[in-house]
Structure 1
Amino acid sequence: MIDYILPLAHKQATLEAVGGKGMSLSKLLTAGIPVPDGFHVTTVSYRNFVEMNHIQPHINRLLADIDFNNTSQLEDVSAHIGMLFHNGIMPQAVSDAIKTAYAGLGSIAVAVRSSATAEDLPDASFAGQQDTYLNIQGESEVLDAVKRCWASLWTARAIAYRVKKDIKQELVALAVVVQKLALSDASGVMFTRNPINGRQSELIINAAWGLGEAVVSSFVSPDTIVMDKKSDRIISYDTADKEIMTVRTSDGTEEIQTPERLRKKHALTRDQIRRLAQLGKKIETYYQMPMDVEWALENDKLYIVQARPITVLPPEWTLPEKDVIYTKGSLAEHLPNPVTPLFATLGLEIVNRATALLWADMFDKSAKKLLPDKGAYTTINGYVYLSAKSKPLLIAVKSLSPRSLRRALTNSVARWEAARDEFQVVIQEWEEKPLHTLNAHQLMEGIQCVFYAACIYFTRIQLTLPAASVSETLFTKLFQGAARRAGMTNTAVFLSGFDTIALQSDKNLWGISEWAKKNEPLSLYLKNNPAMKIGKEFMSPAVPAGVSQEVWIEWKNRINLYFKEFGRTAYEFDFAYPTPQETLTPALESIKTFVEGKGESPFLRQDIFVKQRKQAEEEILKQIDGSRKKLFLKLLHWAQETAPMRENAIYLMGMGHPLIRRMFQELSVRFIHGGSISQTDDIYWLTKMELEALIVQLDKNMPLSDRSGVIPARKAELKKYRGYVPPFKLPEKNEKTISHAPQKLKDGKILLKGIGTSAGIVTAPACVLGSPADFESFEPGSVLVAVTTTPAWTPLFSSASAIVTDIGGPLSHSSIVAREYGIPAVMATHTATRIIRSGQMVTVDGSAGTVTLSE
């Protein structure tokens, strides 16, 4: 006998027969979990319907020539397939079986849910890809809802999801679950492991009034309850203003305004939360994995209406030491991505050696009480964190003592210049040595010596940079009222237009573009070719067609001079990342923009800012009386002297990186020749111990150990880490983590909140850049989205329409440069690089500090 229908708890309720959702509900019933009664319409029924109506050949033909990245094409094909199902005739045997099973439930109101064979799997949940219909009553209505569920296997979003997960379209089928509708007083979802911070010890419940559709579809902001699974203690109950609720109507469901008395009332009692959590733990134990559970509460009785594995979970951020605070501050801000094994072992060891000297200088004998056992900097899930023992009072007393403040805030520019000069001496000493004449030990000594000098330089500027932020903060706070009376809303105008190294770099690129414009063949070549191609041909000995050899040589000379002067910096402090000298695209893109007449002259931009600054000074002085004028001028001059120093000091942090990378490259070539590794950059995937062993073997003319086998796994691990969202501070507070989660708006758009640091509103496609390796993909006019930026990223700003970062603030490099370029900026979104996709349309509001994403 053909099984068109199966009882919900039938032993033949396999994935192939009843789909992922159906199989899950059957398993829950077997485990004694309260599930509303119902039945399965099996995949046999679906296949029978499709075969009788000759639908699959049409589907195959429609999908054969489609561009799966073209949303409008997908929508058109989906609509066409939907009509095939709508017009199809249900086989008599199938409709009779459904009618009989429905009558067996008592012909009551039911929920009709899709259940695909490629669904609710450990690596692909397909959550929300197929349809569910609630409050369906009557035979013809149930039959129609079943057909609509079948058709939803072919929605545009479901087709695209299968393509992304590499699931063959012709192999999928759809079952349908028909269940008694729980007449929910409240409903929602429960994650048996905290999906925000990854903690196994916590579960999260979302709860709202009425049926669950408003919660699942994000039409309402639900209550959020965080619970400790071991003790059943409620860690936090965040009550939302539940404006909308889904209710039954005579012909289905609809969203209505929640009655005023219920909007801010707890949707669940303490006892209901405890019982729901017990069910969640029982389900998790049964499945032996974290679960995403949909639940309903009817007359104080809890029902589970769905449970699927949580396919994507953040890691647990396990702390290396107790009673230690970890933050993404200081040098960790310049290491926004997970670090390579070589930097984690060799680089951080040198960083910590230099930092220990700084702490001893700053905190005297108290340094030992503050410095963790593993050093000031350590890695957690691949990310670098600054750490200190949890003694905030001691840190405050030592940092804010008169001696510490006096030393940090006086003569900062002179002290920075001295640190810079000492750093340059070390670099120059090693640059004068022909690298090919050095043995492996000498190269290693050079790498460590130059990087140690870079770390010492950073510790030195740590005691100069506070002068810039303190002077600006004091100036802004004390004279904000006077600025307002003078008609100024943004005091950043007083610190704009100074000749920083980043601005000098921009001017140099402008100068090259002005020279290129005078040579028509070169100008046409630059306009008609993408920056990536220009970069490749720059590295080639051949001269492009149409450009004279004389002009091409001069062009290359000018570019080389530019990189010699302005390429001595780093995008990130991890020396595994290419430097600007190796990444031509951003600079060439800027030149192209200038040649095409799309970019504003940096000279003109500076002149405008200088005029605005001087005018602002004149206007604000009219609002300040004689007794305060002296203080104003003193603070103003202090802030104006130190602001450029802050930018320049950070720009030069990576001054030794080009040389360090050349020394690593020299070692790499020798390792490749000896068969130890296969590619130049493989050296960064070794550990310090492995590197030192190879160096010994190399200098003793011994056979080199083959290390190439360990590299793929390490790259895969770092790729996994890159998908994590590192908390800014550890241990973290639940409330903060929840508040940083993106919000889904009623129109289906997603809203990210951050700090608006440069005013303006722009809507444009996003371009997410994880590292310099992604620079070639940057499209002019895009919104630049990054974890953070350093002064070395400045060439990209001239062609960006807005800036969005995960970390940063009003005084960060991204904010300062964005204000100078007059483009909107939103910092500290925490999750932008993980939520936003390249090419997605986003609206950046630099005043409100929000980023709105299209669905």
Structure 2
Amino acid sequence: MIYYTLPLLHKQATLEMVGGKGMSLSKLLTAGIPVPEGFHVTTASYKIFVEKNHIQPHINKLLDGIDSNNTSQLENVSTQIGMLFHNGEMPQEVSDAIKTAYAGLGNIAVAVRSSATAEDLPDASFAGQQETYLNIQGENEVLDAVKRCWVSLWTARAIAYRVKNGIKQEIVALAVVVQKLAFSDASGVMFTLNPINGRRSEMIVNAAWGLGESVVSSLVTPDTIVVDKNAERIVSYEAANKEIMTVRTSDGTEEIPTPEQLRKKHALTRNQVMRLTQLGKKIEKYYEMPMDVEWALEKDKLYIVQARPITVLPPEWTLPEKDVIYTKGSLAEHLPNPVTPLFATLGLEIVNRASALLWIDMFGKSAKKLLPENGAYTIINGYVYLSANSKPLLIAVKSLSPRSLRRALTNSVARWETARKEFEDVIKQWEEKPMHMLNAHQIMEGIQTVFYGACIYFTRIQLTLPAASISETLFTKFFQGAARRAGITDTSVLLLGFDTIALQSEKNLWDLSEWAKQNNTLGFYLKSNPATKIAEDFKSSILPAEVSQEVWIEWKSRINAYFKEFGCTAYEFDFAYATPQEILTPTFESIKAFLEEKGENPYSRQIAFEKRRKQAENEILQQIGGHRKKLFLKLLHWAQNTAPMRENAIYLMGMGHPLIRRMLQEISERLLTGGAISHLDDIYWLTKTELETLITQLDKNIPLSNLSEAIPARQAEHDTFRGYVSPSQLPEKNKKAVSHATQIQKDGKIVLTGIGTSTGVVTAPACVLNSPADFDKFQPGSILIAVTTTPAWTQLFASASAIVTDIGGPLSHSSIVAREYGIPAVMATHTATRSIKNGQMITVDGSEGTVTIDE
């Protein structure tokens, strides 16, 4: 028997007949959950409508060879399919069944919701692809709304989704749910786990006034309530300014401004929150998995209008030790991505050994009380965190003692120079050794020695860098008023334009481009080929046809000299990441930009900054006199001496990385020959113990263990970790645990908030770079989105129109360089690299500290 409609709670209902949404509501009713009464319009109704009106052959013809990325083509086809449905006649048996079922509800106002057969399944999250029509009243209006739901199966977005996911267009069908419309006083969504921090013991409820569409469609920032599920108590209730609400009208719904007295008022009482929590627990228990639930409140009665499994479960950030604070500070800032197994086991052990010495140096006998059992740095869900026992008073007393301050703030530049020289000596000593003559144990010793040198260098600069930030903070604080009176709104102009290594590097590339201009054939070759092709040719032994051998040899020699001087740095402190000497594209992009006159002459920019700096100094000096003038000059010169040191010190942190990677490659080649691994880079996916075992086998000349099978699973886990948003502090401060405090809704658009660190407003396409491996994707003129940047990224800034990072602050590298290039920058957005997609148009406002996703 063919059922064209079925009651919501009917034993005959199957996923194929009533779709995901319909099945979900039937299950909820079975579990005794309050669901507004209604009925299913089954997929059989859709199929007979399509068949009787001969629609499918037309659809197949229209979709033949369609391009899922061609938006205008998709929209055009969608419109044509929509007309086929609009003009189609509802078969008598279908319309009679719908009219009878609707009359059974009492001809009331209903919600008519699409229910796709591929929707809301744990393995094929298809939610939000189809439409919902609210406040529909009258049998003809219901029939029309059902038809419009069917049409919504053929929106441009839904067609593209099916093409991209390989879902056959001819097998899809749509069921529809017709339900009594709850006259919602308030409504919203509930997650039966905390989707922000992954805590299974917490629920999050979003609530706003009126119908739920404004919450589901992100038109309003709702109240956010965190509930402890087990104790059934409210952990926190953040009342939002609910500016908009969705209300019923005579012919549907509309968004209206929320009455002033309700805007900041709690949308739910404590009792209502507790009842909702109990329903959530009941639903979760019935489904045996965390759920995303839509609810409505009508005259103090709660209804559940939808429940779907949460398909992507967030991680739980379980703390390795009690009473320890974990932050993304210090070295963890230079490890923004999840680390590889080799760094996690070999690298971090060396980092912690060097850090323990620093802690003893800084805190003396108190170091034992402050240092956690796992060491200064530990890994949580693949991410490195700086950790300390929770004794803030002890840390403050020890860090701010006169002895500690005096040591950190005096002779900082000289102390950095000494640390740099000692690190350079370690590198030089190992660079001079003939690597192919060493056995694997000796090379491993070299790797550990050079990396230990890098870690000791980092701990030494930890005691020099405070001088740069404190001197800048002091002179800004004391002379902000004088600067303002002189018409200078940004005192950072007094610290820009100094000859840092990054600037010298850029000037060197400018000189290279000027030399290339003199050689017509080389200049033409560089302009007419993409940077990726130039990089390929550079590594190849074959000479490009259009360039003479003499010029090409000179070109390669100059580039190699550039890398010898400026390529000794790292993009990330995890040595698994390639260095600038290996990723050549950004260097060639910079030279191309200068050749094509898209990049600014760094010499001219430096002269302009020097002029502005001196002018600003003179203007401020005119505002002050006597002792204040002396203090100003003393603080200014201190800040100007230490600011370039800060940039240079960080630039050289990865000075040993090119050598470490060459040594690891030497061992890796031997492992590859011996059949232990399948690719050169597989060495980074081994643990320290596994690598040491293989090294022993190599040097004893015995068959190597084959570890290549274990590697894909580790890489997959690493990719999973990369998808997480790692909290900046653990345990989280309560507010951060509640909601994305950094993400708000405004006029239906997502707005990320952070710290504006370089002024200006720019709208341009986004380019998300998760690591140096993505540098090839960077398009000049786009907005650079990264977790953070180091000085090695500087050459990308020359062609970026703005900078946005997940972490960082006004004194971070990204901020300093953005100000120097005069482009807007917003730091500390926490989620930019996860919230923004490549190519999306975004607006960066460096004054307000906001990033608006425009599409």
Q: TM-score, normalised by structure 2?
A: 0.99
Distance (whole Å) between structure 1 residues aligned to residue 744 and residue 175 of structure 2: 30
Letter in 2 for 1:248: R
Distance (whole Å) between structure 1 residues aligned to residue 229 and residue 310 of structure 2: 17
The residue aligned with 2:94 is 94
Residues 1:77 and 2:69 aligned together? no
Distance (whole Å) between structure 1 residues aligned to residue 163 and residue 816 of structure 2: 42
Report how far residue 806 of structure 1 moved. Answer: 0.3
The residue aligned with 1:594 is 594
Contact 2:461 2:649 in 1 (8 A): yes
Distance (whole Å) between structure 1 residues aligned to residue 328 and residue 735 of structure 2: 19
Contact 2:331 2:386 in 1 (8 A): yes
Within 5 A, what are the aligned runs for 1:746-825?
746-825=746-825
CA deviations 1:760-780 (Å, max 9, x no partner) are 111111110011100011111
Report how far residue 738 of structure 1 moved. Answer: 4.2
Distance (whole Å) between structure 2 residues aligned to residue 775 and residue 121 of structure 1: 36
The residue aligned with 1:402 is 402
Letter in 2 for 1:769: L
CA deviations 1:138-167 (Å, max 9, x no partner) are 110000000000111111222233345443
CA deviations 1:528-563 (Å, max 9, x no partner) are 111001100111111112211111111111111111
Distance (whole Å) between structure 2 residues aligned to residue 296 and residue 553 of structure 1: 73
The residue aligned with 2:171 is 171
The residue aligned with 1:389 is 389
Letter in 1 for 2:576: A
Contact 1:764 1:843 in 2 (8 A): yes
Contact 2:527 2:596 in 1 (8 A): yes
Deviates more, 1:58-67 or 1:788-797: 58-67
In structure 2, the residue corresponding to 1:765 is in which secondary structure?
strand
Report how far residue 169 of structure 1 moved. Answer: 2.9
Within 5 A, what are the aligned runs for 1:458-477?
458-477=458-477
Contact 2:221 2:745 in 1 (8 A): no
Contact 1:740 1:753 in 2 (8 A): no
Distance (whole Å) between structure 1 residues aligned to residue 648 and residue 51 of structure 2: 70
The residue aligned with 2:451 is 451
**Identity over aligned pairs, percent:** 81
Count of residues in correspondence between the two structures = 855
Contact 1:62 1:77 in 2 (8 A): yes
Distance (whole Å) between structure 1 residues aligned to residue 537 and residue 274 of structure 2: 67
Distance (whole Å) between structure 2 residues aligned to residue 136 and residue 282 of structure 1: 31
Distance (whole Å) between structure 2 residues aligned to residue 71 and residue 385 of structure 1: 43
The residue aligned with 2:698 is 698
Distance (whole Å) between structure 2 residues aligned to residue 53 and residue 269 of structure 1: 51
The residue aligned with 2:614 is 614
In structure 1, the residue corresponding to 2:818 is in which secondary structure?
helix
Letter in 1 for 2:330: S
Contact 1:214 1:246 in 2 (8 A): yes
Letter in 1 for 2:261: R
The residue aligned with 2:677 is 677
Deviates more, 1:165-174 or 1:138-147: 165-174
Deviates more, 1:391-400 or 1:515-524: 515-524
RMSD: 1.1
Report how far residue 63 of structure 1 moved. Answer: 2.3
Within 5 A, what are the aligned runs for 1:590-669?
590-669=590-669
In structure 2, the residue corresponding to 1:113 is in which secondary structure?
strand
Report how far residue 576 of structure 1 moved. Answer: 0.1
Where does structure 1 lack aligned partners over 5 or more consecutive residues? none
CA deviations 1:641-670 (Å, max 9, x no partner) are 000000000000000000000000000000
Within 5 A, what are the aligned runs for 1:192-231?
192-231=192-231
Contact 2:6 2:13 in 1 (8 A): yes
Letter in 1 for 2:750: I
CA gap 1:734/1:211 in 2 versus in 1, 3 angstroms:
same
Distance (whole Å) between structure 1 residues aligned to residue 224 and residue 614 of structure 2: 51
Residues 1:843 and 2:843 aligned together? yes
Distance (whole Å) between structure 1 residues aligned to residue 64 and residue 707 of structure 2: 44
Within 5 A, what are the aligned runs for 1:440-589?
440-589=440-589
CA deviations 1:62-117 (Å, max 9, x no partner) are 22222212222222222222122111111111111111111111111111000000
Contact 2:225 2:738 in 1 (8 A): no
Within 5 A, what are the aligned runs for 1:101-180?
101-180=101-180
Residues 1:282 and 2:285 aligned together? no
The residue aligned with 1:270 is 270
In structure 1, the residue corresponding to 2:557 is in which secondary structure?
helix
In structure 2, the residue corresponding to 1:248 is in which secondary structure?
strand
Contact 1:495 1:640 in 2 (8 A): yes
Q: TM-score, normalised by structure 1?
A: 0.99
In structure 2, the residue corresponding to 1:653 is in which secondary structure?
helix
Distance (whole Å) between structure 2 residues aligned to residue 809 and residue 473 of structure 1: 13
Deviates more, 1:798-807 or 1:158-167: 158-167
In structure 2, the residue corresponding to 1:133 is in which secondary structure?
strand
CA gap 1:590/1:85 in 2 versus in 1, 3 angstroms:
same
Contact 2:120 2:127 in 1 (8 A): yes
Distance (whole Å) between structure 1 residues aligned to residue 276 and residue 139 of structure 2: 33
Contact 2:220 2:748 in 1 (8 A): no
In structure 2, the residue corresponding to 1:292 is in which secondary structure?
strand
CA gap 1:744/1:5 in 2 versus in 1, 3 angstroms:
farther
The residue aligned with 2:59 is 59
Report how far residue 731 of structure 1 moved. Answer: 0.3
Report how far residue 208 of structure 1 moved. Answer: 1.2
Distance (whole Å) between structure 1 residues aligned to residue 624 and residue 396 of structure 2: 34
The residue aligned with 2:7 is 7
CA deviations 1:310-357 (Å, max 9, x no partner) are 122321100000000000000000000000000000000000000000
Letter in 2 for 1:229: K
Report how far residue 742 of structure 1 moved. Answer: 5.7
Contact 2:219 2:745 in 1 (8 A): yes
Report how far residue 712 of structure 1 moved. Answer: 0.2
Contact 2:185 2:297 in 1 (8 A): yes
Contact 2:570 2:792 in 1 (8 A): yes
Distance (whole Å) between structure 2 residues aligned to residue 739 and residue 304 of structure 1: 23
CA gap 1:718/1:208 in 2 versus in 1, 3 angstroms:
same
Contact 2:742 2:829 in 1 (8 A): no
Deviates more, 1:336-345 or 1:166-175: 166-175
Letter in 1 for 2:769: L
Distance (whole Å) between structure 2 residues aligned to residue 191 and residue 841 of structure 1: 30
In structure 2, the residue corresponding to 1:842 is in which secondary structure?
strand
Contact 2:762 2:844 in 1 (8 A): yes
CA deviations 1:392-423 (Å, max 9, x no partner) are 00000000000000000000000000000000
The residue aligned with 1:47 is 47
Contact 2:109 2:135 in 1 (8 A): yes
Contact 1:647 1:791 in 2 (8 A): yes
Distance (whole Å) between structure 2 residues aligned to residue 416 and residue 314 of structure 1: 42
Report how far residue 744 of structure 1 moved. Answer: 5.5
Letter in 2 for 1:534: I
The residue aligned with 1:189 is 189
Distance (whole Å) between structure 2 residues aligned to residue 743 and residue 788 of structure 1: 18
Letter in 1 for 2:459: T
CA gap 1:374/1:166 in 2 versus in 1, 3 angstroms:
farther
Within 5 A, what are the aligned runs for 1:415-426?
415-426=415-426
Deviates more, 1:668-677 or 1:742-751: 742-751
The residue aligned with 2:365 is 365
Contact 1:126 1:158 in 2 (8 A): no
Contact 1:543 1:552 in 2 (8 A): yes
